[in-house]
Amino acid sequence: MNWDDLRVFLAVARTESLSGAGRQLKIDPATVGRRIARLEEGLGAPLFAKSPQGYELTRDGGRLLAHAEAAEQAVSLGLDDLSGDGDEQLKGVIRIGAPDGCANYVLPRVVARIAEEHPELEVQIIAQPRLFSLSKREVDLYVSVSPPSSGRLLVQKITDYHLSLAGMRWYLRQHEDITTREDLKRHKLVGYVPDLIFDKELDYLEEIGASEADYTSNSVSVQLNMIRAGLGVGVVHDFCLPYVNRMERVLPEDVRLKRAFYLVRHADDRKVERLSRFSEVLCQSMREVVEHLEREA
């Protein structure tokens, strides 16, 4: 058994398909299938059972998974140790997941700052309105709007951020004044699709005294563009406001919500120096960027 075969095994276990593993490893799915067959033949045990949902680990596959992940961790630590050697430059590829508001409006500026100091580092931003799986290595680390309460994870608070009720200046001129929360009942509201809210911290309506939204999306960017198009008013991240001309806060003295970003890593990555250093740089830059954008709002 060699490490390359274990890499293929891990990719199939995490993506639950030959095609998914092939995309991840950038090799042909047929080659992935042959490599898995060779590994099973060498071990004398079936590692996967094919089902309508894809490739599921067998009992033997599950037992091998723990050892393969330990080997992956050892290889990562070894490479990290060799590449360090006193070099302060971060290198290679790091993939970070984040809710789409953070991914669209905060992380690009953060990565631009980091790239100036670490030009050989490639940061991949995966924007998804959902939670990520670190055990399946979908990402190396991710930003969350609430701290996970289970799993073998490293969690640290990055920074607080704020949200406000907002609308386009021209929309607000053409519609009835909003001087109290009661006035919101005479306006259309933009918000999340209720059954697609993946984190309780994203459920803002009750806090602003509303029961439901009239126009909805699971995406912060789409909601922002709905408000920009004049469909109504809605809760907007303060760090988004500088990106939209002539969008202004509504009831600024009454409605201002506070949330926080958290950085989440797999506990096994605690000793990976490169990820630890990146996490430190990322958190510091995110704090500075969020603070700067909120000052501009």
**Nearest-5° angle of CA 270, CA 276, CA 280?**
140
pLDDT per residue as tens digits for the range 269-284 = 877 788 899 999 999 9
CA distance 55 to 29: 13
Is 18 a residue whose pLDDT tops 60? yes
Is 101 a residue whose pLDDT tops 90? yes
Q: What is the pLDDT of residue 80?
A: 59
**Nearest-5° angle of CA 65, CA 69, CA 70?**
115
Q: What is the pLDDT of residue 85?
A: 47
CA distance 211 to 194: 11
Residue 268 is given by DSSP the state G
- Topology alike, domains 3-84 and 92-159+260-296: no
CA distance 244 to 237: 12
| CATH superfamily name and code, 92-159+260-296 | Periplasmic binding protein-like II (3.40.190.10)
Question: Which residues are CB-contacts of 125 (< 8 A; sequence separation ≥ 6)?
Answer: 96, 98, 103, 107, 108, 111
Amino acid at 7: R
Class of domain 161-257 as given by CATH: alpha beta
Residue 107 is given by DSSP the state H
Q: Which CATH number fits domain 3-84: 3.40.50.1460, 3.40.50.2000, 3.40.50.720, 1.10.10.10?
A: 1.10.10.10
CA distance 46 to 36: 9
Among residues 160, 155, 162, 161, the alpha carbon closest in space to that of 263 is found at 155
Q: What is the pLDDT of residue 113?
A: 95
Mean pLDDT of 183-189: 93
pLDDT band at 223 (very low <50, low <70, confident <90, very high): very high
pLDDT per residue as tens digits for the range 192-202 = 998 888 888 88
Helix axes 59-84, 3-15, angle to 10 degrees: 120
CA distance 157 to 252: 26
Percentage with pLDDT > 70 across the chain? 92
For the chain, which residues make up each domain, given as ranges?
3-84, 92-159+260-296, 161-257
Q: What is the pLDDT of residue 81?
A: 57
Mean pLDDT, all residues of the chain: 89
CA distance 254 to 165: 9
